[in-house]
Amino acid sequence: MKALVWNGEAVVEERPIPPIPRGWVLGKVLAASLTSIDAAVTSGTLPVIPGRILGSYGLIRIVEPGVDASFGPGEVVGVTPLSSCGTLAIDLDGVMSEYAAVPSDTLIDVSRDATKGKNLWKLLLMLEFSFVPVLADIVEGKDILILGTGISTYIIASFLKNYSRITVIGRESPFLKRLAGLGIKVLSARKHLSKEGLLFDAVILCAIHSYMAMASPMYLRSGGALVLPPNTPHGKLVLSYPNTLSKIVIVRPEHGSLRDGEEVLKEVGANLLESVIGVTKSFEEVGMLRRHYARITYTGGGGS
């Protein structure tokens, strides 16, 4: 099978179809995305062993379930990055391949009909951001800070602005102006990162940079919540806890239903999403598209 592999650069390799450990499933990959988790790998922020298959979110049709797997042959499921065995594209091979073996606890049932009449790249976005409505319940009516200025920040802030008072701190990015256009307070990381006196009820860490991860708890009031989104790789980043901070709560929201994700994306213009997400049916095109788009989605596996 073909797979997109990270060996210091993204290259297409021929790989054998992987074995199926107990509790895992083997699936035909219908679609797969490179997200901020893959960006952490390809930027060197989170080094991985050479030859790791990329692709942290996906959509697969199960070909063969392993022993004790909780899904059966023919079922169409969404693949999310976090499992009890590790994180896809970092600790485990991802799903940017023709076939993928993944742990059952990464899977979300999206039903066979979910692929009909929908763009697969948008379906994967719905899956990826299905956790955001949970955040609304956590941060409603509060002062929150989002660290990072990528597409994840923009999508999350677009939805949460109706529930919370939002400030964003991040590196210079085309999304800074877009965020400001939503009525959100934006601050440059160069001037304001680690600046004393800025305190919030919750901090959402949407950055893959270690220095932002280390700084994040210092912005929290005592008793505040540090939110680690499931689409952002923080498992190997170090957090720093100031001595003056008596208590914080660490929250890792779980993915919801596709309907939840669809509600989130309604707040974001389709034209914007199409301008930052490159879609291809060929693994060979991914390397070129990575130079022009914030996100890449492979949809060459079919949708039926």
Mean pLDDT of the chain: 88
Residue 118, token pair as written in the block:
């929908």
Which range marks the domain in which residue 22 is found?
A: 2-128+257-298
21 and 114 housed in the same domain: yes
* For residues 102-121, average pLDDT: 81
pTM of the full predicted structure? Answer: 0.91
pLDDT at 236: 60
E-strand spans in 80-150?
Answer: 82-83, 86-87, 99-103, 107-109, 143-147
Residue 186 lies in a domain: yes
CA 231 to chain centre: 2
pLDDT at residue 14 is higher than 70: yes
163 and 92 housed in the same domain: no
237 and 177 housed in the same domain: yes
170 and 65 housed in the same domain: no
CATH code (residue 109): 3.90.180.10
Residue 303 lies in a domain: no
Is the C-alpha dihedral spanning 293, 295, 299, 304 positive or negative? negative
pLDDT at residue 237 is higher than 90: no
pLDDT at 283: 93
48 and 136 housed in the same domain: no
* For residues 181-206, average pLDDT: 84
67 and 171 housed in the same domain: no
pLDDT at residue 113 is higher than 70: no
Could you give the number of structural domains in the chain?
Answer: 2
CATH code (residue 217): 3.40.50.720
pLDDT band at 304 (very low <50, low <70, confident <90, very high): very low
218 and 70 housed in the same domain: no
